Amino acid sequence: MVSNSSPGISADDRVALALDVDGTVHRHGSVFVESLALLPYAGDISLDETDRDTLRDVLGSVAAYAGGDRSRRRWLAVIRVCDALAAAGLERPVARLLAGLVRYRARYASTSESAGDAGDYREMQRRILDRYGTFLDGRRRERVERAFQRVLERHFRVDPALRRALADLATVVDLDVVLLTDVPTHIARPYAALLGDDVEVVGTDFATIDGRFIGKYTFVGKGATVDRLRAERGLDYVLAAGDSANDLPMAAAADLLLAVAGRGNLLTELPPEFRSIEVSAVRTTGLPADTDAVLVPRETSVADALRTTVTALGVDIREPGEPRYFDAED
C-alpha cells in the first residue's frame, strides 16, 4: 500500500475512489455477461445466426466456468427458448424475463464456490474476449455503444444507497470516481452513467480504426492506472474497492482498500502483510492509522462500508440518524 503522510482525509483533499465493477459495485454478477445475454432481445442491433452463435459460445463458456458443463447446457437451453420466443415477436417480454433470471442466477452463483481459481479465470476471460472480439470486428463503435446503452438503461439498476453515498462524499471533498474494470469500456460507460454524471471509466479497451472495431483489445492495468491518476491529478488520497485477486495491483497502489467479500474471493487472497480490520470493528472503534484493508462481508453493502470508512477517515457523510463513529479525539 502507498504510505500517506496523513492517516485520514481532510475536507480540502483531492480524493479518488477507484472502484472495481463486477462483484463490487455490481455486487452480484457481471455487467458484461448480463448485458451480452440481453443484447439480442433489447439492444436493437442487427444480428445474424453467426453473431448469435458467437454470443451463445461466449455465454456458454462463462456458464461452464461458473458451474461446469451442466450449467453451460442449462444456459444454452434457456437462450434457445429465448431465441424462439423472440422470433415470434416477443423480444420485450423475453428481455424482461431474462433480465430477472440472470439477476437471480447471479445472486445464487455469488454464494457458490464452484468457480475455478484466478489463473483459470484469466484464461476464461481471454477466451471469451477473443470470441467477443470476433463479434465486434467491423462493427461501428457508435452503433454498438448505443445498443448497450439501451440495454443498460432499460434493464440495469445500481444500488441507490451507493449513488447517494458517492454524491454525498463529492459535496465535502474534491472527488474523482473512477471505475477500474475488466468490463469492456463501451459497456462500462453507460453503467457508470447510472452511478452518477461524473463517474469515469478505465476498462478493457477494444481498438477501432475509422470508427469501426477491429477485434483487438487491451486489458486495463489497474495498479498502473492508479499511479497515473495520482501523478496527473495530484491526488492526496486513493480509496480502492475490489472483490478479486485481479484488484490487488490497484490495492497496492492505493492508500486503503475496501476488500469486498464475494465470488472473487479477495478476502482469502490478501497478502499476509496486509493489516486488515472488519468494517464492523471500524464502526465501533475507528480506523487504525496503519490499516491497509477494510474487510466487507457479504451481508454488508458497499455503500454502508464506504460511509463507515470515510467517516472514520475524518469525512462525515453519515445519513441522518446514523450513530457517530468512534473518534480518538473525542
Burial status of residue 113 (CB atoms within 10 A of its CB: 0-12, 13-18, 19 or more): exposed
**Residues 75, 188 within the same domain:** no
- Per residue in 117-132, pLDDT (tens digit) is 545 778 888 999 999 9
**pTM for the complete prediction?**
0.88
Written as nine digits, the cell of 127 is 477466451
146 and 35 within one domain = yes
- Distance in Å from the first CA to the final CA of the chain: 28
The CA distance from 164 to 158, in Å, is 11
Number of other residues whose CB lies within 10 A of the CB of residue 285: 13
Residue 328 domain flag: no
- Flag whether pLDDT at 104 surpasses 60: yes
Per-residue pLDDT tens digits for 22-49 = 999 998 888 999 999 999 998 888 899 9
Asked if 78 and 215 sit in the same domain, the reply is no
- Cβ(268)–Cβ(290) under 8 Å? no
Q: Do the Cβ atoms of 1 and 7 come closer than 8 Å?
A: no
In this structure, are 44 and 148 located in the same domain?
Answer: yes
Q: Is 12 helix (H, G, I), strand (E, B) or coil?
A: coil
Query: What SS3 class is residue 242?
Result: strand
Burial of 318 (0-12, 13-18, 19+ CB in 10 A): middle
Is 264 inside any structural domain? Answer: yes
Instruction: Provide the number of structural domains found in the chain.
Output: 2
Based on the fold, state whether residues 64 and 125 are members of the same structural domain.
yes
Same domain, 20 and 61: no
Please spell the DSSP secondary structure of 43-77, one letter per residue: S-----HHHHHHHHHHHHHHHHHHHHHHHHHHHHH
DSSP 247: G
Residues 210 and 132 both lie in one domain: no
Is 169 in the same domain as 122? no
* C-alpha to C-alpha distances, 205 to 127, 141, 247, nearest whole angstrom: 16, 12, 17
* Domain assignment present for 4: no
Within-domain flag for 267: yes
Q: Tell me which of 155, 182, 199 is where a domain ends.
A: 155
**Which helix (H) or strand (E) segment is 304 a member of?**
helix 302-312
What are 178's strand-pairing partners? 18, 200
307 and 278, same domain (yes or no): yes
Is 321 among the domain residues?
Answer: no
- The confidence band for 107, taking pLDDT boundaries of 50, 70 and 90, is low
Is pLDDT at 111 greater than 70 in this prediction? no
Q: What is the pLDDT of residue 43?
A: 83
Q: 68 and 18 in one domain? A: no
Of 155, 183, 205, the last residue of a domain is 155
By DSSP bridging, strand 14-19 and strand 212-218 are unpaired
Question: Facing residues of 242 across strands?
Answer: 259
Local confidence band at 108 (pLDDT 50, 70, 90 cut-offs): low
CATH number at residue 260: 3.40.50.1000
Are residues 145 and 185 both part of a single domain? no
Per-residue pLDDT of 267-302, as tens digits, reads: 888 988 899 999 999 988 889 888 999 999 999 999
Assess whether 174 and 224 both reside in one domain.
yes
The arithmetic mean of pLDDT across residues 246-259, rounded, is 95
Query: Which of 155, 173, 188 marks a domain boundary?
Result: 155
Q: What is the mean pLDDT of residues 219-242?
A: 96
Q: Answer yes or no: are the C-beta atoms of 120 and 45 closer than 8 Å.
A: no
| Phi then psi dihedrals of residue 275, to 5 deg | -95, 115
121 in Cβ contact with 65 (< 8 Å): yes
Q: Do 221 and 268 touch, CB atoms closer than 8 A? A: no
* Parallel, antiparallel or unpaired: strands 237-242 and 14-19: parallel
Helix axis angle for 185-195 and 141-155, nearest 10°, is 40
Q: Is 211 left (phi over 0), alpha (psi -120 to 50) or beta?
A: left
| DSSP H or E run through 91 | helix 91-109
What is the C-alpha separation between 39 and 55, in angstroms, rounded? 9
Residue 5 domain flag: no
Domain that holds residue 117: 31-155
Please report whether residue 135 resides in a domain. yes
Q: Is residue 327 situated within a structural domain?
A: no
